[in-house]
C-alpha cells in the first residue's frame, strides 16, 4: 500500500493489515479487556454492597449531624468501618477506570465519573426504599476516596511515560548527527 505521495506504507492498523511490526496491540487489548472486566466487577460489587435491601423505606442523614457523628465516634470501630468503607467503596472502580484512561489528563473526567456514581448510589438508595441511609456525606466520601486513587494512579503512570525524550530510542538518546562521515565540530566557547 502507498500513501498519497507514493511512498510505500507497511501494513498496520490504519491500513487494515493488523498491528504494525513492533507494536504490542494484542497485549494492549488484553490489558484493556482485563481493565474493563475489573471495572464491571467493581461496579457490580458496589451495587451489591450499597443497594442490597437492609429493611424497608429509607432514612435521611442530615449532613451536619452525620459529620458530628463521624467526629464524635472516630474512636469506635463501627464509625471507623463506616468511614473507611465510604472512602474505599469506589477505589477499585476508580483504579480500573484509571487503567482504561491513564494519565493526568483524564483525572478530572474520572473524578467527575466517580462523583456521578456516588450520587447515583444515593439516589438509587432513596428510590428503591431498601432500608438504606441516604447521605450526601457518603457520596462526598466515596468521591474523595476515588479521587485520591485516580490521582495516585495518574502520578504512578506519568514517570514511566517521561523516561524517554522525543527522539530517544529504546536504549537511550539518539546519537548526534554526523556530517559527511566526520564528528560534529564544536565551536570554542
Q: Are 145 and 86 in contact (CB under 8 A)?
A: yes
* pTM of the predicted protein model: 0.70
Q: What is the pLDDT of residues 100-116, one digit of tens each?
A: 999 999 999 999 999 99
Buried b (16+ CB within 10 A) or exposed e, 131-167: ebebbebbbbbbbbbbbebbbebbeeeeeeeeeeeee
DSSP conformation class of 177: P
Q: Which helix (H) or strand (E) segment is 63 a member of? A: helix 63-72
Q: What is the pLDDT of residues 67-102, one digit of tens each?
A: 999 999 999 999 999 999 999 999 999 999 999 999
Q: What is the pLDDT of residues 130-178, one digit of tens each?
A: 899 999 999 999 999 999 999 999 999 855 444 555 555 555 566 666 5
The count of other CB atoms within 10 Å of the CB of residue 77 is 8
Average pLDDT over all residues of the chain: 81
Amino acid at each position: 500500500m502507498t500513501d498519497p505521495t507514493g511512498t510505500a506504507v507497511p501494513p498496520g492498523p490504519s491500513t487494515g493489515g493488523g498491528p504494525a511490526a513492533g507494536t504490542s496491540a494484542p497485549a494492549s487489548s488484553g490489558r484493556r479487556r482485563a481493565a474493563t472486566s475489573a471495572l464491571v466487577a467493581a461496579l457490580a460489587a458496589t451495587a451489591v454492597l450499597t443497594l442490597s435491601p437492609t429493611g424497608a423505606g429509607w432514612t435521611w442523614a442530615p449532613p451536619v449531624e452525620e459529620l458530628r457523628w463521624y467526629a464524635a465516634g472516630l474512636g469506635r470501630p463501627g464509625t471507623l468501618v463506616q468511614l473507611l468503607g465510604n472512602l474505599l467503596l469506589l477505589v477499585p472502580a476508580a483504579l480500573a477506570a484509571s487503567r482504561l484512561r491513564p494519565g493526568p489528563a483524564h483525572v478530572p473526567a474520572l473524578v467527575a465519573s466517580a462523583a456521578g456514581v456516588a450520587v447515583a448510589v444515593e439516589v438509587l438508595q432513596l428510590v428503591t426504599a431498601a432500608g438504606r441511609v441516604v447521605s450526601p456525606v457518603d457520596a462526598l466520601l466515596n468521591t474523595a476516596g476515588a479521587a485520591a486513587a485516580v490521582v495516585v494512579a495518574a502520578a504512578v503512570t506519568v514517570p514511566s511515560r517521561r523516561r524517554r525524550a522525543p527522539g530517544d530510542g529504546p536504549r537511550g538518546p539518539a546519537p548526534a548527527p554526523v556530517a559527511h562521515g566526520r564528528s560534529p565540530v564544536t565551536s570554542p566557547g
